[in-house]
Amino acid sequence: MTEAARRRTFAVISHPDAGKSTLTEALALHARAITSAGAVHGKGDRRGVASDWMEMEKARGISVTSAVLQFSHRDQVLNLLDTPGHADFSEDTYRVLAAVDCAVMLIDAAKGLEEQTRKLFDVCRHRGIPVITFVNKWDRPGREALELMDEIESEFRLRPTPVTWPVGIAGDLRGLIDVRDPEHMLRYTRMPGGSKEAAEETVPAARAAAEEGEDWERASEELELLGESGGLHDPEAFLAGKSTPVFFGAALSNIGVRLLLDAVVDLAPAPAARELADGGRQPVDAPFSGLVFKMQANMDRSHRDRIAFVRVCSGVFERGMTVTRAASGRPFATKYAHSVFGQDRSSVETAYPGDVVGLVNAASLRVGDTLYDGPRVEFPPMPTFAPEHFSVVRPVDIGRSKQFRRGIAQLDEEGVVQVLVSDVRGEQAPVLAAVGPMQFDVVQHRMEFEFSAPVKLEPLAYSVARATDTAGGEALNRSRLVHGEAMVRVKDQVVLALFPSRWHVSSFEREFPDHPLEPLIAAHETG
């Protein structure tokens, strides 16, 4: 329990291009976990970010998979899970949110609340995850601070409670006021390129007023207004998901990052009892249990291995222990267990609730699996989102069929895409189903460079998927009035009915009222 209380397990989430991976690097830099922050595009002599290790991520400057970074700060152990920002990878982000106790949401100072930001806030609300908000890029032209506060409150019914407040408008940041110490201003001197911590100076209020004039006066008046309207941090409301502490800064310039890092230690909750599939809760001090929230292959190109990322939910994990996989009841040996920092890893002997352990060569494990030691427990299953894009995939070289089959099966197990098959198309031409088209780019890249089996994709004219049964699938395939196709999802054997549009869905339901179709969870839904 003492070790669990020292853990803070949180995700960094945002709309694409809000600066998520940059903030991840900045947090690690301020925690002294790295000595020089990278840049997403690796400009000049700067390397790529530690959390973006896949070659495709480095080339495009985006995150297409989640990453885990563990480091210490103020005698606390921080498990930071970086996530993809792009909506095409919503499923990966959702899985990560099933493994954390808190989220840091980035908002672009100029763009405010964007579509993916809204969806992620909804997911956090649904899962009961408290959210800390960081308004990023305040060193660039943007919107009014009070306007952003109003937008958060009106759109999310979430009371924003600033912990830091900017002195100066967006694009002309003069400093920050820590609301807990309003008699001082923090002034920053940017380091060239933001590769090191920005120098921080504490300026007394009287001097700040004299030197910053109207900017200081405006910031002070805005904070006084927010205080009168109840906009001060309330720990209980934050943990209950009714308010969000707000911080301002600039991740690329490392401004305001230290205050955010301290807030994760001071405000984010430690691991607590987790909900079970049967409606009960698993106490932190119960025997070991863990949730597999991610599978990732080929992180180590020299070994071609596969890692199962497991969030320790209760008890103590010890390397070498034999645990039970709830789905099959079979034992699983944990001889090769690693602590992960981006692509780098080292053997871990012991882990506590909140920690993330990488189990190597975990071919028998699947995303959503529960592992336990002692009495049987099982956590709720992870949802599979409704695909909206479909393509037939074939090997470019039929002589690489073995590598093709192995690669497609592995990407399916990792959750990179959903793989569908049918008797008509056969196993040589499976159909890939995805939430967004960028998932297909990941498949093509990984099939060529990791499995040495280049593939070609042929898009299908379907955009809607519904769950049905075998009889419903047969009815769709023999229908002459409705254009569609039934296929089986490999990982769970669910029969999916694919249609070009919702109009075709309605047509099927009119023709075959005895074969109802079940909607799947859309990427923007949280239930």
- Point out which residues pair with 466 in neighbouring strands: 497, 519
Three-state DSSP state, 75: coil
Which residues line the annotated binding site? 82-86
* Closest to 223 measured CA to CA, from 259, 185, 261: 185
What is residue 267's predicted lDDT score, i.e. its pLDDT? 96
**Environment class of 198 (CB within 10 Å of its CB; exposed 0-12, middle 13-18, buried 19+):** buried
Centre a 10 Å sphere on the Cβ of residue 280 and count the other Cβ atoms it contains.
11
What is the structure's pLDDT at 184? Answer: 95
pLDDT at 448: 92
Q: What is the per-residue pLDDT for 85? A: 54
The pLDDT value given to residue 220:
93
Closest CA to 296 of 334, 350, 345: 345
In DSSP terms, which residues pair with 79 in a beta bridge? Answer: 9, 70
> From CA 438, how far away is CA 469, in angstroms rounded?
30
**Distance of alpha carbon 395 from its chain centroid, rounded?**
31
DSSP symbols for 214-256: HHHHHHHHHHHHHHHTT-S--HHHHHTTSEEEEEE-BTTTTBS
CA distance 465 to 520: 7
What residues contact 154, with CB distance under 8 A and at least 6 apart?
A: none
DSSP for 466-484, written as a single string: EEE-HHHHHHHHH-SSS--
- Cβ atoms within 10 A of the Cβ of 52, count? 26
CA 113 to chain centre: 18
Which two tokens mark 27?
């947090």
Q: Distances from the Cα of 264 to the Cαs of 144, 257, 290, 353, in angstroms?
A: 25, 11, 23, 17
For the chain, what is the radius of gyration of the CA atoms?
24
Report mean pLDDT in 10-residue bins for the chain, 527 residues: 96 84 86 58 42 50 62 93 65 84 94 83 85 96 95 89 96 94 92 76 96 96 84 87 94 93 96 95 97 78 73 96 95 87 77 94 88 95 86 94 92 89 85 90 90 95 95 92 91 94 94 91 54
Calculate the dihedral angle through the C-alpha atoms of 446, 449, 454, 459, rounding to the nearest 10 degrees: 30
How far apart are alpha carbons 105 and 117 in whole angstroms? 8
Residue in the block written with tokens 């993809």: 84
Question: For residue 253, which amino acid is it?
Answer: S
Burial of 254 (0-12, 13-18, 19+ CB in 10 A): buried
The pLDDT assigned to 51 comes to: 47
Go through the domains of the chain in sequence order and give each one's CATH number: 12-65+83-268 (3.40.50.300), 275-372 (3.40.50.300), 389-519 (3.30.70.3280)
The dihedral region occupied by 112, where left means phi > 0, alpha psi between -120 and 50, and beta the remainder, is left
Q: What CA–CA distance (Å, rounded) separates 97 from 14?
A: 12
Residue 428 DSSP class: T
From 263, 244, 267, 18, select the one nearest 153 (Cα to Cα): 244
List, as residue ranges, the binding site for GTP.
Answer: 82-86
How far apart, in Å, do the first and last CA atoms of the chain sit?
Answer: 31
